[in-house]
């Protein structure tokens, strides 16, 4: 999970701050970090609930393994769903957005770079 968070946080920060005036970036960054913290807490709670539910609250490590497997499958499904949702949204917008080296947002039609 840490690798996914490490890869995702930079992109989330860039998306949050994209197109904002300098005087609003501090508040936007704070909201972004708060959303990350809440998302981590809720996500972990969901995975623990799945793991405990599948393993039946077993305390033996061998019996807990089935719960861990189920929790990882759920985490993978949520990640895949998020990626597909983002891709569908990007396609529905007819292109992609990028940030130029000067900091302004650049929009290019799909298939053009």
Residue 105 CA to residue 18 CA, distance in Å, equals 7
Read off the tokens for 37: 């913290």
- Of 15-24, 38-47, 90-99, which gets the smallest average pLDDT? 90-99
Question: pLDDT by residue (tens digit) across 39-78?
Answer: 889 999 999 999 999 999 888 888 899 999 999 999 999 9
Strands annotated E in 24-94: none
Who's near 28: CB < 8 A, 6+ residues apart? Answer: 16, 17, 20
Question: Which of left, alpha, beta for 98 (phi over 0: left; psi -120 to 50: alpha)?
Answer: beta
pTM, two decimals, is: 0.67
């Amino acid at each position: 999970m840490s690798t996914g968070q490490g890869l995702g946080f930079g992109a989330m920060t860039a998306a949050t701050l994209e197109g904002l005036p300098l005087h609003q970036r501090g508040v936007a960054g704070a909201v972004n970090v708060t959303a990350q913290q809440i998302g981590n807490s809720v996500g972990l709670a969901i995975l623990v609930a799945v793991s405990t539910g599948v393993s039946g609250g077993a305390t033996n490590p061998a019996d807990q393994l089935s719960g861990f497997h189920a929790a990882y499958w759920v985490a993978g499904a949520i990640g895949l769903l998020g990626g597909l949702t983002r891709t569908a949204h990007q396609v529905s917008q007819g292109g992609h957005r990028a940030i130029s080296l000067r900091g302004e947002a650049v929009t290019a039609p799909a298939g053009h770079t």
